[in-house]
Amino acid sequence: MMKRIAVIAGVVVALIAIAMVAGVLYMRSYFSAPSAASVASVVGDVGARRVLGVFAHPDDEQLVTGFFSLAKEKDQAFTALITGTKGEAGHQVPTVARQQDLGIVRKAEALKNGFALGIDDQEVWDYPDGGVSSESIDEITARIEAKIEAVQPDLVVTFWPASGATGHKDHMRMGLAAESAVMQARTRLAGVGGYKGPRWIAYVITPPNGLRTFGGETGKFVADNQPDATHAMPGNIPAKMRGWKIHASQEHYVQAAYGFPDWLLYLLWDQEYYRVVDLNAP
């Protein structure tokens, strides 16, 4: 009798385990991008040796931790990062500082996380958080173009201008400025000896099925206004988890925004997706 009970209990436990695994695999399908080819590293796949990231807020680099950390650790590439604002208008989760000091705190968090990711050259600019305006695009574009000439990246990684990965207007405008700066640099340097400007742009792509299912109207907007991903690569989840600890003022952002903890999100979404454009292609 006891043996029979033990067998039944074992079968029940096995069935529960199978159901849990099946559930996780099913949920992971919402955080995939079927169009993307799996690569060990985007930077290594295209053969870039110098990389510049252009983003809007402290903690935006949490979207590209795998990209930057593997560019450094695996590909030995030179990496640089521009963050357009100090994030002073952000909501603290948890509260770690006076609100009037938040920009200073978040700038320090960004620099600390950049150091942890091995970024060689990092700048946090002081455009207003939530106020990267269309009127300032020309100025921002010129500053990014000057940085491109100074850093001489082969590849620029940024937001897709029409959707910004999350629908945030600051993201969209920084992506537009980065894209414009790349094109202007290539045009200006075309007839000059030596460096000719970046060859590739990599745009951050957010999983479309997850956006449409869990993202509400904003998620649908992003999914409808971003292209298919061409590349999928490991997201370096330990670095993302470490990054939220470093970004102490935003440590519980995932829980506050999505209603479940970051470890669960990254159990389901452990890849990063990119639309990589070869600007030398016909």
pLDDT in tens, 170-209: 999 999 999 999 999 999 998 788 999 999 999 999 999 9
Strand pairing of 200-205 and 271-278?
A: antiparallel
Is residue 18, in this structure, part of any structural domain at all? Answer: no
The rounded percent of the chain whose pLDDT value lies above 90 is 83
pLDDT at 20 over 80: no
Select from 156, 153, 113 the least CA-distant residue to 242: 113
Look up residue 275 and give its amino acid: R
Q: Residue 215: give its domain's CATH number.
A: 3.40.50.10320
The C-alpha atoms of residue 164 and residue 170 are separated, in whole angstroms, by: 8
Model confidence band, residue 26 (pLDDT cutoffs 50, 70, 90): low
Is residue 63, in this structure, part of any structural domain at all? Answer: yes
Domain count, the chain: 1
Is residue 22, in this structure, part of any structural domain at all? Answer: no
Q: Give me the pLDDT at residue 61, please.
A: 98
Model confidence band, residue 3 (pLDDT cutoffs 50, 70, 90): low
The boundaries of the domain holding residue 211 are: 32-278
Is residue 192, in this structure, part of any structural domain at all? Answer: yes
User: Is the Cβ–Cβ distance between 208 and 214 less than 8 Å?
Assistant: no
The C-alpha atoms of residue 42 and residue 259 are separated, in whole angstroms, by: 31
Tokens of 142: 């010129």
pLDDT in tens, 140-178: 999 999 999 999 999 999 999 999 999 999 999 999 999
